[in-house]
Structure 1
Amino acid sequence: MNAQPVIFDGHNDLLTRLWLSSAVDPVHDFIYGTLPGHLDLKRCRQAGWMGGLFSIFLPPYAYVKNSHPDKLSNPSGSDFTPQEIVDICCEQLALAQQLQARSDGQIQICTSLAQIQACQQNQKLAIVLHLEGAEFLAIKPDLLDVFYDAGLRSIGPLWNRKSLFGDGLNASFPHSPDTGSGLTDQGKDLILECSKKGMLIDVSHMNERAFWDTLETIHQPIVATHSNAHALCQQARNLTDRQLNAIKQSGGMIGVNFDVAFLRADGQRNTQTSLDVIVDHLVYLIDHLGKDQVGFGSDFDGCLLPDDLSDISQISMLIERMQQRHFSDDLIEKVTSKNWFAVLDKIWQ
């Protein structure tokens, strides 16, 4: 493969990082300058990274309180207020809209495969809006339609916290994905409503019971946007072989997470981690799901990366390692973009 492949990625936390940024104008810095972290427009273009699923995410309260207390109305409190939960998500949506509006046509929020492919042809950055954790919809359910109208096309109803929609997924290493109760009735209603809208339903932060509840509730390809193989790394958030088979049968896919703690057999947050470990997960998942149902789900700007993949500018190192491990050009193209295009097209029809 002479040219860098086009890369479409299943998960990043750029919008949350922009929201947390102390820069005077982080949107401008992303588009026209250099932004600390894993992504900015210049580095993305140089790397062939043409977009993906951009997460709207409520960070852990303790992290915001300790590191960014200026973002809170009451920094001495014990948790977000309901209004803060709504405001944080709305502000991240507004940041995505600013990226599009202020980019002189270089960035587009996409709601169809045709729009994504047009971005690819015209060298634009494609943003697919994704909701990671739906707590704010428990406070203001009518905002689902507002966010959908603004371009939201993917949702992970749960994160690590317990919510109206189900138990979160939070367990010490090593642990199975079976960490608690599944989806509540409200959680089942939410994913059914989103499915009827043609939205992707993400199981990456679901415990095992919620995973099976999802398969019983909706009938569409099941996607884990940023998860890995439990057989190789026994984090609770990684997927068992039985779950992999269910995703395969549904016609869904998995985006491999680049966070070292979800890659390493010892579960350690150690950046001295070989890129071969990422390839190991890719190989394992391809062996279990097939070459058409695995992609990247990096978690850029929301994870701890291996030293040899410190930001998007080093993604070529991973591609080279895949080539060294005898990935064909056709398989690399599938993993880096085409499989995502295919599953989104199936779900959004």
Structure 2
Amino acid sequence: MTDSHSPQPPVPVFDGHNDTLLKLEMRAQDGRARSFFDEAREDHIDLPRARRGGFAGGLFAMFVPSVRDQAQVRALSNSDPRHFGRVGQAEALDCTLRMMARAFRLERERPDQVRVARSHADILAAMEAGQLAMVLHIEGAEAIDPDFAALDVLYQAGLRSIGPVWSRQNIFSDGVPMAFPSSPDTGAGLTDLGRELVRRCNRLGVMLDLSHITEKGFWDVAGLSERPLIASHSNAHALCPSARNLTDRQLDAIAESRGLVGINFHVAFLRDDGRHNPDTPLETIVRHADHLISRLGEDHVGLGSDFDGCVVPRAIGDVAGLPALLEAFRKAGYGEELIAKIAWRNWLSVIARSGL
């Protein structure tokens, strides 16, 4: 008989975006390597804290930075994305392979605890087995060559999601600057190669993530893709007028495609003043959730934390703090069924609809 006073296990969370593989790789290169399987004082995600927070898995991004220091990134955040500098294909592919290899090594080191998931069925099996489900995602497609040979190889290795562009230009599209206040209509859309990337991803069953693309690029993908539109880590422009957030018209298009928006925890994409202030109340996230649900419906909103790549509200802190956010939803009147949808079910549903 279960003790009614014993703590209940946390609601599982399948999250749309984190930069943990990059953090692990950068620390290793800097001589500050840490084990993913030991609790750390730095960064946002390791396995012990993930277990405490109910973090069951998510899309693990492989991002190739133009600059390595996060303070430099923030200093450039109100600049044109071209100021970040382009990354060459060979460099990007090398860095991407290193992060991908790191994921495979985690799986090989603790196969009972980590699984690199390549399908909807894999994710479900991992969650049922108590394994952390890692879906591999490229944030900015600089690693992909104009002949798409790398795309085919990376897909066979396990890649299942691509953001064609980060907040800088590449051969596929322009990216939006992280400017505030600003419209997302800041530059050009897809190039001819970008259009071909969309077609090839559709054929392979690779999800396309629109979180960093310009508004023109968004509409180019919307007019071309046969799959649900996904913005893995973006918020409502109506509440926070950052170029990185989505207008109501974009949200309506995502709803029409039966896609999904993952709520980004980065405080500068949540606050109406755009400040990098960790003392941002969880009610600010709830307000974005309310707005997204009003435009998309309850079945098309999830979480896209941006852990290990952003300034998180202090009330969450790291992945162990996810239950605090879910409790904020409860206090706002969200029922358990809706909380479960936002926490994990909607992500798994859109992954299935995307053909994975």
Q: Normalising to structure 1: TM-score of the pair?
A: 0.92
Residues 81 and 133 of structure 1: is their aligned pair in 2 closer, same or farther, counting only changes over 3 Å? closer
Q: Is the 8 A contact 1:255 1:295 kept in 2?
A: yes
Distance 2:96 2:178 in 1: 25
| Counterpart residue type for residue 276 of structure 1 | E
Which has the higher mean CA deviation after the structures are superposed, 167-176 or 203-212?
167-176
Match of 2:206 in 1: 199
Instruction: Establish whether residue 308 from structure 1 lines up as the match of residue 302 from structure 2.
Output: no
- Provide Cα deviations, 1:254-299, integer angstroms capped at 9, x if missing partner: 0000000000001111111101101110111011110000000000
- Provide Cα deviations, 1:204-248, integer angstroms capped at 9, x if missing partner: 011100000001111111000000000000000100000000000
- After TM superposition, give the deviation of residue 112 of structure 1 in Å: 1.3
Q: Is the 8 A contact 2:20 2:61 kept in 1?
A: yes
Residues 34 and 106 of structure 1: is their aligned pair in 2 closer, same or farther, counting only changes over 3 Å? same
Residues 44 and 185 of structure 1: is their aligned pair in 2 closer, same or farther, counting only changes over 3 Å? same
Q: Normalising to structure 2: TM-score of the pair?
A: 0.90
- 2:65 pairs, out of 28, 43, 59, with 59
> Secondary structure at 1:30's aligned position in 2?
coil
- 1:89 pairs, out of 96, 101, 111, with 96
> Secondary structure at 1:147's aligned position in 2?
helix
**Residues 172-187 of structure 1 aligned to structure 2 (within 5 Å):** 172-187=179-194
Which has the higher mean CA deviation after the structures are superposed, 317-326 or 136-145?
136-145
Instruction: Establish whether residue 113 from structure 1 lines up as the match of residue 120 from structure 2.
Output: yes
Match of 1:343 in 2: 350
Unaligned segments of structure 2, at least 5 residues = 1-6, 74-84
- 1:232 pairs, out of 201, 218, 239, with 239
Q: Is the 8 A contact 1:61 1:80 kept in 2?
A: no
- Provide Cα deviations, 1:157-190, integer angstroms capped at 9, x if missing partner: 1011111111121153101110011000100101
- 2:50 pairs, out of 28, 44, 47, with 44
Q: Between the two proteins, what is the percent identity of the paired residues?
A: 42
Instruction: Establish whether residue 158 from structure 1 lines up as the match of residue 174 from structure 2.
Output: no
Match of 1:275 in 2: 282
> Secondary structure at 1:308's aligned position in 2?
coil
Residues 262 and 97 of structure 1: is their aligned pair in 2 closer, same or farther, counting only changes over 3 Å? same
Instruction: Establish whether residue 258 from structure 1 lines up as the match of residue 247 from structure 2.
Output: no
**Residues 137-156 of structure 1 aligned to structure 2 (within 5 Å):** 137-138=144-145, 141-156=148-163
| Counterpart residue type for residue 91 of structure 1 | R
- After TM superposition, give the deviation of residue 140 of structure 1 in Å: 7.1
Please tell me the root mean square deviation across aligned C-alpha atoms, in Å.
2.1
Which has the higher mean CA deviation after the structures are superposed, 198-207 or 58-67?
58-67
Distance 1:155 1:311 in 2: 25
Match of 2:18 in 1: 12
Match of 1:334 in 2: 341
Distance 2:18 2:207 in 1: 16
Distance 2:101 2:145 in 1: 20
Q: What count of residue pairs does the alignment treat as equivalent?
A: 338
Distance 2:247 2:207 in 1: 21
Distance 2:321 2:268 in 1: 19
Instruction: Establish whether residue 30 from structure 1 lines up as the match of residue 29 from structure 2.
Output: no
Distance 2:68 2:117 in 1: 33
Distance 2:71 2:178 in 1: 22
Unaligned segments of structure 1, at least 5 residues = 68-77
Residues 108 and 175 of structure 1: is their aligned pair in 2 closer, same or farther, counting only changes over 3 Å? same
- After TM superposition, give the deviation of residue 151 of structure 1 in Å: 0.8
- After TM superposition, give the deviation of residue 61 of structure 1 in Å: 2.6
Q: Is the 8 A contact 1:82 1:139 kept in 2?
A: no
